[in-house]
Every structure is written in C-alpha cells, then in structure tokens.
Amino acid sequence: MRIDIISVMPELLEGPFAHSIIKRAVERGVAEVVVHNLRDYSVKSTGRVDDYPYGGGAGMVMQVEPIDRLITKLKGERRYDEVIFMSPDGERFTQGMANGLSLMENIIILCGHYKGVDYRVREHLVTREVSIGDYVLTGGELPAAVVADAVVRLLPGAMGDEQSALTDSFQDGMVEAPIYTRPAEYRGWRVPEVLLSGHERRIEEWRYEQSVERTRRLRPELLTMNNEQ
C-alpha cells in the first residue's frame, strides 16, 4: 500500500514515521509513505500556498492551485482509491474505517492548515473528509499520522506475530481484557489467579467476561453499536 501525504509542514511528520511500526513496515516493503511539501507546488515565487479569504475575515486560506497541481501530478502516476482531507468537521475516524483503508492500494492524505482550504478543494478534489475527534488541532499533520499509523499496522507483515493487530481493542467492537506480566505479586498487588492457572479454557472465558464487563463500564455505546450491526 502507498500513502501520499500532502503538507505545508512536512517536518511535523518526520518524527512519527522515523520510528515505530510504520518505519519497520516501510523498511520491509509492506507500505510506502511519501510526504510531499506543498510549498514545492506554489504558484508564487515566495513559495506561499495561502492567501486572504474572499469576503474578508481572519486567517489565511490554503489555495486550490498548488493542491490541484500536486494531486493531478500524483494521479498521473497511479490510480488513487481515496483523496482524504483531514478536517475536524469530517467523518469520525474509527477502527472500521482503518480496516477499510488498509485494503486500499493507494491513498492521498491532505493536511489542512491556517483557517482551512479553499472550498473548491473539498468540492472537486477530495473524496472523503476525516476527523480524528471533536477537537481542533493546529493542522492536519498529527491527524494524518494517526490515520497512517492505524492503517499501516493492519497491513499483513507490518507487525510481528507477537503483536497481532486482530486481537486489538475495538477490532471485535469491544474493549480488551486486562493484561499482566511478571511478577505475579508486587507490593501486595496480585495478578488474577486464573491467569496463573494454565487452564486455557478458563482463561479464555475470564478474558471474554472481563472484556464484556469493561466495555459495559467504559464504552457502553460499543455494545449497542454491535447489536445494531
């Protein structure tokens, strides 16, 4: 899978991709993540890619032309399944969406900045608008890194067997059961006996019960969502 990320601050994406599972997945050839500096496609000699809003108002607006130039160039090189714009008013990002995106061949993620982008970008170039939550960040770079991380780790071969993505919280619509490691007792805090018993079936049952109980307590809406599906 290939992910092209368009940004006016590509440096912000260096950290997340220089480490972690994404880096390993890229090294293994499981994923290709390419970050583009939108300023390289500026129509001005200054490299600026924003301008004042028509009709007045505070804040600068990202121009349509540099974004169109870059997206058109990319589309000339390969077919893209989605052009995603990261925006706080987009569709809420979920595990289900990450699963869907992980099946795609090529996607573009456009990071917003300033007051926003010229609305023609959203009308004509973008196929999907995605938000990582109901709060406003300074730009779309961190949200893009969140989406790329959640998607890449699902790709076959991205993670070792020891970290199967299939057993994650939310993958089956429930919160995970508690996990523990050695020592069995620390400052009088004991690991539940059942986990030390070696009794596989009882452990499985315990994990399932815990998962249901924690989901009911922490994220009750997940149980109703599962029943509605």
Residues that bind ligand ADE (CB under 6 A): 86-88, 112, 131-133, 135-137, 140, 143
Cα 193–Cα 195–Cα 198 angle in degrees, nearest 5: 105
d(C-alpha 98, C-alpha 153), whole Å: 10
Cβ 107 to ligand ADE shortest distance, Å: 15
Residue 89 tokens, joined: 């008013």
Cβ 152 to ligand ADE shortest distance, Å: 18
Cβ 213 to ligand ADE shortest distance, Å: 31
CA 66 distance to own-chain centroid: 24
Of the two residues 86 and 98, which places its CB atom closer to ligand ADE in the complex? 86
Residue 35 tokens, joined: 């970050």
Of the two residues 67 and 177, which places its CB atom closer to ligand ADE in the complex? 67
Q: Which of 96, 109, 97, 101 minimizes the C-alpha distance to 141? A: 109
Of the two residues 81 and 129, which places its CB atom closer to ligand ADE in the complex? 129
Cβ 93 to ligand ADE shortest distance, Å: 8
Cβ 150 to ligand ADE shortest distance, Å: 13
Cβ 120 to ligand ADE shortest distance, Å: 19
Of the two residues 87 and 210, which places its CB atom closer to ligand ADE in the complex? 87
Of the two residues 30 and 33, which places its CB atom closer to ligand ADE in the complex? 33
Please name the helix (run of DSSP H) or strand (run of DSSP E) that holds residue 95, with its range, or none: helix 95-102
Where do the DSSP E strands lie in the chain? 2-7, 32-37, 50-51, 61-62, 82-92, 106-111, 116-117, 128-131, 185-186, 189-190
Of the two residues 129 and 172, which places its CB atom closer to ligand ADE in the complex? 129
Q: Encode 157-185 in three state secondary structure.
A: CCCCHHHCHHHCCCCCCCCCCCCCCCCCE
